[in-house]
Amino acid sequence: MDKLIRRIGLIFNNTSLIQGALAHRSYAHEHPDRAHGLADSERLEFLGDSIVNFIAADLLYRHFPNRPEGQLTKLRASLIKTGSLAGFAREIDLGSYILMGKGERNTGTHTRNPLLADTFEALVAAIYLDQGLDAARAFVTPFFESQIAQIQDDSNIDADDYKSQLLTVVQGRFGVTPSYRIAAESGPEHRREFTAEVYRGEQRIGSGSGLSKQLAEQEAAREALALLAEH
């Protein structure tokens, strides 16, 4: 844990917060004596989700003063989706520091996107509670900035409407309308993730995930467009 603290460049006043953020529930089950007194990781995750949402919204509001609410909502969803947060966690090798029960670690759970994203949010909450909002913002902002820079380079946000593009392509090439199905839902209530599949007739031509059904369908359409472009 000390190595992680040095890596993120913070000195915690209350180390039980960062220890709690890193403690998976399987660790508490196997080591109740060590977990006693630590902050609850799931409560921290709940708080961290809102803080990450706020920081993303604030950055986008300032970076894109002329874009309407609907576009900002779509951009924020891209920044805070599970895959993005898990990627941020991997940048600081967060999975190596997660405290887990031996059996759970042997399954490789600490390398999977959902847990990495949840732990990243819990870490943000721990920083916020210990150091305040400015420190949490300073920690999170660099992860978002490279993605925001890419968004700024995209002069036409409507290019992200992959469903409309796919509709045009599929109707033009095959004379049918693509259909969408929600194949799965996962994650806690405050951050549900949906997996959508898109079909041409009965043939599945793409799939994707997102924090809403609409975003999942857009990701599925994007994959389908990429696959159709190869053939």
Tens of each residue's pLDDT in the chain, 231 residues:
788 888 888 889 999 899 999 988 777 777 777 766 677 889 999 999 999 999 999 999 998 888 888 888 888 988 898 888 999 999 999 999 998 877 666 677 678 899 999 999 999 999 999 999 999 999 999 999 877 876 655 544 455 578 988 999 999 999 999 999 999 998 877 678 899 999 999 999 999 998 888 888 989 999 999 999 887
Q: Where does a domain end: 155, 178, 200?
A: 155
109 plus 22 within the same structural domain: yes
Q: Which of 45, 49, 118, 197 is catalytic?
A: 49
Rounded CA-CA distance 98/185 in Å is: 25
Give residues with Cβ within 8 angstroms of 103, minimum separation 6. Answer: 26
52 plus 123 within the same structural domain: yes
Q: Where does a domain end: 131, 155, 179?
A: 155
User: Is 42 marked active-site?
Assistant: no
Give residues with Cβ within 8 angstroms of 162, minimum separation 6. Answer: 218, 219, 221, 222, 225
Kindly report the length of the chain: 231
- The residue whose two tokens read 């630590």 is 38
Q: Which of 121, 130, 217, 223 is catalytic?
A: 121
User: Is 49 marked active-site?
Assistant: yes
Domain that holds residue 55: 2-155
Closest CA to 110 of 91, 124, 90, 129: 90
111 plus 213 within the same structural domain: no
Sign of CA dihedral 37, 38, 42, 46: positive
User: Given this model, what pLDDT does residue 214 score?
Assistant: 84
- The number of distinct structural domains making up the chain is 2
